[in-house]
Amino acid sequence: MPETLPWSWYTDPGLLQREQERVFAHGWQYAVRADQVVEPGAYVATYAGQMPVVVVRGRDADLRAFVNVCRHRGSVVCEGEGRRETLQCPYHAWTYDLDGSLRAAPRADREPGFSTEGLGLVPVAVATWGPFVFVSPDPVEPLTDTLGDVPDQLAAGGVDVDGLRFHHRWEGTYEANWKLLAENFLECYHCAVAHPGFSRVIDVSPGAYGLRTGRRTMSQTGDPRDGAGNRVAHGQFHFVFPNTAINVMPGEPNLSIGPIVPLAPERTWRSLDYFFAADADEGWIADFLDLDNQVGREDTVLVERVQRGVRAGAIAHGQALPRSEQLVVHFDRLLRESVGE
């Protein structure tokens, strides 16, 4: 029977640094919506793990991403989102072109031998899937390889990602390690106990609730208990390693997507961008969001309670159930392989 990850892994600052270097530095992560960076000069500041990243559309129409850190003294260059002709650091006004090259550094002409060459923003890999933009500081493979068959599963289930329209973003913070949020997402073993509203809508019984692993993906599928899925017949809940969650509920065409981002060993930030079909019924959307928000509140209590337990240090690790929690076991294996024992 497989053990969980050591519980010290959920509190150790050194392990978090190792995860940044060996996991987040090489994995593809959902970053921004493609519609946010359509026009030349449009930019959005985001993160790849703990690394600040800025995604920008160049004057040549190319989409680029950079480490959002000034090459001078290390300040974050961009905040939020907007549109600019250049990217200028607010500390000493070092100014970068939209292709990342250093354009100007005040008083540099007073420094003998100073050259802007080699002092541009550090590039980050960027790729798109439908209306979604992903980034990776140093990817080990193309985004399509990481996504595996998730796009095909969504399309087969009635979700045309290119036909969806952005509705709103939700974001929040948790007093828990990022892995607890990922592992909580990856199993519905707890649903019948902790999510009564969700369990009334989706059949979460072991024989009906589907679990499937890919190389870097983990997928769950569930049928509506009333059998009325409308245009989307089944619920789909996908996780793309290391930290991207994708949710689809049965009913109107819908999808929410977002990263799970570590802020500190015991603090995590999450966001979800919600998309619906342009003609989706507004009453259905409102009911869906009420249920989704309720599940989110319940999950916050769960993961923060687990964090208090693992923080105690009284027990070295837990015991996983390889059938009911096979996606958690797969996630833990990928993490162990990435960071080492």
Please say whether the beta carbons of 5 and 179 come within 8 A: yes
Kindly state whether residues 119 and 164 are assigned to the same domain: no
Please say whether the beta carbons of 45 and 79 come within 8 A: yes
- Asked, for residue 199, whether it belongs to a domain, the answer is yes
What's the pLDDT score for residue 172?
97
Cross-sheet strand order for the sheet of 81-83? 29-33, 132-136, 123-129, 63-67, 51-57, 42-48, 81-83
Kindly state whether residues 160 and 120 are assigned to the same domain: no
* Domain span including residue 330: 148-339
d(CA 202, CA 217) in angstroms, rounded, equals 22
Residue at which a domain ends, from 98, 127, 156? 127
Residue in the structure block whose two tokens are 């990022």: 178
Please say whether the beta carbons of 225 and 207 come within 8 A: no
The CATH number that applies at residue 277 is: 3.90.380.10
What's the pLDDT score for residue 341?
67
Question: pTM for the whole thing?
Answer: 0.96
- Asked, for residue 256, whether it belongs to a domain, the answer is yes
Kindly state whether residues 93 and 37 are assigned to the same domain: yes
- Asked, for residue 23, whether it belongs to a domain, the answer is no
Residue in the structure block whose two tokens are 């354009």: 103
d(CA 66, CA 57) in angstroms, rounded, equals 11
- Asked, for residue 49, whether it belongs to a domain, the answer is yes
Kindly state whether residues 59 and 160 are assigned to the same domain: no
- Asked, for residue 140, whether it belongs to a domain, the answer is no
Kindly state whether residues 161 and 95 are assigned to the same domain: no
Kindly state whether residues 200 and 294 are assigned to the same domain: yes
- Asked, for residue 139, whether it belongs to a domain, the answer is no
Kindly state whether residues 175 and 273 are assigned to the same domain: yes
Paired tokens of 329: 């076991």
Kindly state whether residues 158 and 50 are assigned to the same domain: no
- Asked, for residue 11, whether it belongs to a domain, the answer is no
Residue at which a domain ends, from 71, 95, 127? 127
Kindly state whether residues 176 and 263 are assigned to the same domain: yes
Residue at which a domain ends, from 92, 127, 162? 127
Consecutive H or E run containing 297: helix 282-311
Kindly state whether residues 94 and 47 are assigned to the same domain: yes
Helix axes 178-185, 282-311, angle to 10 degrees: 130
The span from the first CA to the last CA of the chain, in angstroms, equals 18
Four-point Cα dihedral 167, 53, 129, 64, nearest 10 = 120
- Asked, for residue 328, whether it belongs to a domain, the answer is yes
Kindly state whether residues 85 and 205 are assigned to the same domain: no
Spatial neighbors of 287 by CB under 8 A, at least 6 apart, are: none
The per-residue pLDDT string of the chain (341 residues; one tens digit each, 9 = 90 and over) reads 889 999 999 999 999 999 999 999 999 999 999 999 999 999 999 999 999 999 999 999 999 999 999 999 999 999 999 999 999 999 999 999 999 999 999 999 999 999 999 999 999 999 999 999 999 999 999 999 999 999 999 999 999 999 999 999 999 999 999 999 999 999 999 999 999 999 999 999 999 999 999 999 999 999 999 876 679 999 999 999 999 999 999 999 999 999 999 999 999 999 999 999 999 999 999 999 999 999 999 999 999 999 999 999 999 999 999 999 999 999 999 999 999 86
Neighbouring C-beta atoms of residue 194, cutoff 10 Å? 16
The amino acid at residue 268 is T
d(CA 258, CA 238) in angstroms, rounded, equals 11
What is the total count of domains within the chain? 2
The phi and psi torsions of 91 (rounded to 5 degrees) equal -85, -60
Kindly state whether residues 271 and 158 are assigned to the same domain: yes
